[in-house]
Structure 1
């Protein structure tokens, strides 16, 4: 068996609030969730003090230094500040727009200011997940399948790929609904046709997809969603509902800049209460251990009233999802995915609204499990290709190169007044048995385009080329365009995504410049064809239609998205530095454990207090206590001091044995 077939490719659920990693063991025909610090997932949280921390340890630091703990960066990635400023107001750390209206996170630690992009935070989370997987599996990890919401824009998916690259991972992106239904397929024992409505209510987004499963084929037929609707919205609504009562009891306004610690404490308690109340518990009491200590009681009836509007929004989206489909109740079901979908009221409302069976297969782990299965499918597919001679995939165009501009333009004129868009800028694993490996290999998933793609024409209008929910891969029909002005020498093709009819109502994807000889308005005619891959990579072919020269230009539309090569170099350097500190912190913690065990052995074996070994043990104990309470000393100095004392005691102790 080749090394490529033996390689482990991770499945990563990079969530807004929690992230998890899984892999597929083809020998045991199981997917394994890799536990980190005894947990199935880690909070998607990063602490930017010293030492740098990710996950649970970072989350705990928010009770002490909330301005240094960054969370929910996925809600900001690839967005403009004006679109997320309401979300930014609810976060206890500083977020400011830059000159391009991109949100930037400002961290001040000991007089040093650090400006972070949301993509950088995601990259550091991915680097940590990769490092944890390597520690537990004892192998280098190079590749991963990473899940993203189906509603993600092109720029958001590209930034996610950039984050993976900076973390040292070659990545394939997989929509979260596709990942969930892929895992669901491996859990059911039937090849009969069935329709599945994927109800994916996560921490930051809500995705709804309609899939049809028949035999070994899975077809995603329709998708809807809300990228700004998730469990975080419910958390915030609960906090705002009770803020007056909290201030009345404690005398503290948790929304003021001076009480960020108290805000985090309340938020943490509210999230815990939400989980308990979500199961249907009649009431929960929250302890307020700050200001004038007290407590508030949240009744389930009150909780349901606050949650109800958010559930109604998801049900409206489901109605929109299925309105053009005739679904048979006997073979249609709803699959619940995501932590927020565990709220009992959601199950009750869906049961009342729809006459479909409701399934729930590991809603917290399904996305990571599905990504791990997809990773195995890609691995076996690539292994088959590598066994064939001269069957290598062509190398994609590099991100920082532009094709030689040569020609070309529709019967609808392309506007002239365009400004080019700037470059945006193993502890015991949890396992699940699935279908036998050969069955998994045969699975085929047909995804669909999440948003329509078009080009901007005169009058700020969008001429659509590929339409939402068309099955991938796609080759569009040729569509003709013309230049709009006399004596034009440079045309700019502007590509947009979205369902609106104007550029203002859609999202800019990319701008591509085309040089032409000076010509009269409407003299240049050209056709545009898009080829969109299964992973939604868009390649455009432009061909002049009124010339015998057969001038053709082909380029990748997505190539101007994401970070520039210079930005990527800086981000990789920053992530490497961060990861080194994080790894050093983990090494220090492991060394502290080893030192603690060593001192206990010495205490057991050496009774004489005048024995030099006893004194060395006491010195090491004192140092450990000092280092544990020292928040000012850099982690590398702590590690070096502890290493020296530990090795001295260990060497002397082993001489005695």
Structure 2
């Protein structure tokens, strides 16, 4: 909405997630009709008929979407109906339209209070008091929130004592997803998924930089169509990779990504009118900060420790840089665990006993984890609380986003046939609108046989009907790619498909009917297991692991044992760029493996050790993890010196390599902490400081937006 003029000054411009083409011209007649709906709503509200009142205020908003009173009144209705997320959204919209309206802050504080976000409620009341210091509703609301916060802290202390864990030992579990993230914590004998300030259990993994400041989560995603160059998403697809490896992903990203030092991808955005570069870890850290804040608001205590999940097929660099992101976010990441393994925990904890109460001796389960941006399949053996991963496979560049891409490409061609080939030329906003519309249609097609792809491209209204059959035909090649990993994971474990007892579906993209169809067909009609929540199971499992690391010992966690595997073979480069495997893929971790190597030339006294991961026989097709040199080895004829190279993989799946000459005793090693784009300790410290400064700036700008009123 364009800022209004009053008294010769420009009023505070609210943040509106709409394109100017979408604005409604409100006529006097529409305002008059809106007033009638408002009066009817007030009468219904006074009579305690909150559903009826909500309907009337909604009609008023449809007539005049820019009157702050309507949102304020509807917020009160939603709060009384315990629809806290909607109540908060309306109160925030009211404040955006009239930052000097004290009741808007009162509405927001009340909604947050009822939702359990006491710290945020206190902030809302305090901000309102700067507008109207003598407002009794704000004063009383603040007092109630403070008392409730004090009670919540006392309850947290008591709960912590019951869980045999001190407050500073709470370890949260975070599913850092490509498209959505989720946070959970173990309390009172079970994992609890925590809701964010908007009342949602998952948060979009999106970050945006706007004139009004930085946005993270749903607020960032909502404004993407009007700010595509500064709205960042799918960062998980480029973290830990080389710029040269990201060509396909970069084609689909409307924001600027350039090649940085060491061939690392660097994201470039406008911040306060200046170009600023961010490493992928920094952007992921912003999402992790959001999850950390969500946990702190819900638990009422500071959070410093976490378990973070990654795709099973993430390589060493991707795991390390994810851990760096946690450090930048102010989290001590105690453990990195694989997403399907975490989901298996969520599935297995409730299935230790059979139908007649007997202990399950052995169960082979296949976890099929298809998320927004990554895909994993793991085969596990579950026996009396022991979760043993037999094999894992997957594709870190396959997920629901690829379905969106295929559907958007199809829709674009169809629209260009009808409207002209130049309708989308050079228009990033138009392409983002189309992609968002396609994502919405994809979701609808999971429950219906047809949907409409609807959006405005400039003044042109797009309304394209799409059937489930068309969608499945367009995406069939992508669907079939999923089966390749399923077949591979069975082959690696030496299992036949008939030996699989359960096929557990995880990840939002498993809701697509055709995905379920190809699995059912491949497993000869076997019923798929949908008992775990597809969006929350991974965070749930991470919370279980967090509880174990925090020292919680109860009926559920005391007998849990995780036995994961190395997803990719690890080894060194030999003469002729040949790849010599030291640790075979699907080796159980933690593990320590040793191989013997020797010299190529006579009197050679040093060797370069280049470390790779992958399955190709030639290192050109594998991923370089790092390299180091060992000097002072035995001078002898070629082939005589004996150098032991030892690979050690810890419980996080992170690697240390050591080389030692048997005769001279010289030794060299590398923990791969600073190789191939990994941040140094100094860089992490600098980025931590930047993250803190940016969080403070976010808070300052938020206060300015809410305090600044019209003249």
Query: TM-score, structure 2 length as denominator?
Result: 0.71
Is the aligned partner of 1:298 residue 2:473?
A: no
Q: Does structure 2 retain, via aligned residues, the 8 Å contact 1:9–1:375? A: yes
- Report the equivalent of 2:20: none
- Report the equivalent of 1:556: 671
Is the aligned partner of 1:333 residue 2:502?
A: yes
Q: Does structure 2 retain, via aligned residues, the 8 Å contact 1:455–1:495? A: yes
Task: Decide whether aligned partners of structure 1 residues 254 and 536 sit closer, same or farther in structure 2, where only a CA change above 3 A counts.
Answer: farther
Structure 2: 5+ residue stretches without partners: 1-160, 354-358
Give CA-to-partner distance per residue, 1:314-348, whole Å, 9 cap, x none.
01221121135334747611111111111112222
- Report the equivalent of 1:624: 709
**Equivalent residue in structure 1 for 2:527, among 347, 357, 377:** 357
Aligned to 1:358, what secondary structure does the other structure show?
A: coil
- Report the equivalent of 1:44: 205
Give CA-to-partner distance per residue, 1:417-455, whole Å, 9 cap, x none.
xxxxxxxxxxxxxxxxxxxx3232211011011111111
Aligned to 1:483, what secondary structure does the other structure show?
A: coil
**Equivalent residue in structure 2 for 1:448, among 555, 561, 565:** 565
**Equivalent residue in structure 2 for 1:101, among 252, 257, 263:** 263
Q: Does structure 1 retain, via aligned residues, the 8 Å contact 2:352–2:385? A: no
- Report the equivalent of 1:380: 551
Q: Does structure 1 retain, via aligned residues, the 8 Å contact 2:179–2:373? A: yes
Q: Does structure 1 retain, via aligned residues, the 8 Å contact 2:178–2:372? A: yes
Query: What is the distance in 2 between the residues matched to 1:493 and 1:263?
Result: 47
- Report the equivalent of 1:651: none
Write out aligned runs for 1:144-293 (5 A).
144-171=306-333, 172-190=335-353, 191-192=359-360, 193-248=362-417, 253=422, 255-257=424-426, 259-279=427-447, 281-291=448-458, 292-293=460-461
Write out aligned runs for 1:443-522 (5 A).
443-476=560-593, 478-486=594-602, 488-516=604-632, 519-520=635-636, 522=638
Task: Decide whether aligned partners of structure 1 residues 342 and 288 sit closer, same or farther in structure 2, where only a CA change above 3 A counts.
Answer: same
Q: Does structure 2 retain, via aligned residues, the 8 Å contact 1:537–1:558? A: no
Aligned to 1:237, what secondary structure does the other structure show?
A: helix
Query: TM-score, structure 1 length as denominator?
Result: 0.77
Query: What is the distance in 2 between the residues matched to 1:67 and 1:326?
Result: 47
**Equivalent residue in structure 2 for 1:34, among 195, 217, 231:** 195
- Report the equivalent of 1:530: 647
Q: Does structure 2 retain, via aligned residues, the 8 Å contact 1:488–1:520? A: yes
Aligned to 2:555, what secondary structure does the other structure show?
A: helix
Query: What is the distance in 2 between the residues matched to 1:348 and 1:518?
Result: 61
- Report the equivalent of 2:23: none
Task: Decide whether aligned partners of structure 1 residues 13 and 253 sit closer, same or farther in structure 2, where only a CA change above 3 A counts.
Answer: farther
Structure 1: 5+ residue stretches without partners: 385-436, 596-622, 627-657
- Report the equivalent of 1:647: none
More moved, 486-495 vs 143-152: 486-495
Q: CA deviation at 1:82?
A: 2.3
Aligned to 1:293, what secondary structure does the other structure show?
A: strand
Task: Decide whether aligned partners of structure 1 residues 299 and 566 sit closer, same or farther in structure 2, where only a CA change above 3 A counts.
Answer: same
- Report the equivalent of 2:482: 314
Q: Does structure 2 retain, via aligned residues, the 8 Å contact 1:250–1:288? A: no
Aligned to 1:289, what secondary structure does the other structure show?
A: strand
Query: What is the distance in 2 between the residues matched to 1:107 and 1:30?
Result: 38
Give CA-to-partner distance per residue, 1:562-584, whole Å, 9 cap, x none.
11233223322222222223344
**Equivalent residue in structure 2 for 1:116, among 259, 263, 278:** 278
- Report the equivalent of 1:582: 698
Query: What is the distance in 2 between the residues matched to 1:188 and 1:586?
Result: 47
Query: What is the distance in 2 between the residues matched to 1:30 and 1:534?
Result: 22
Q: Does structure 2 retain, via aligned residues, the 8 Å contact 1:452–1:468? A: yes
Task: Decide whether aligned partners of structure 1 residues 490 and 373 sit closer, same or farther in structure 2, where only a CA change above 3 A counts.
Answer: same
Larger RCO: 1 or 2 (CA < 8 Å, sep 6+): 1
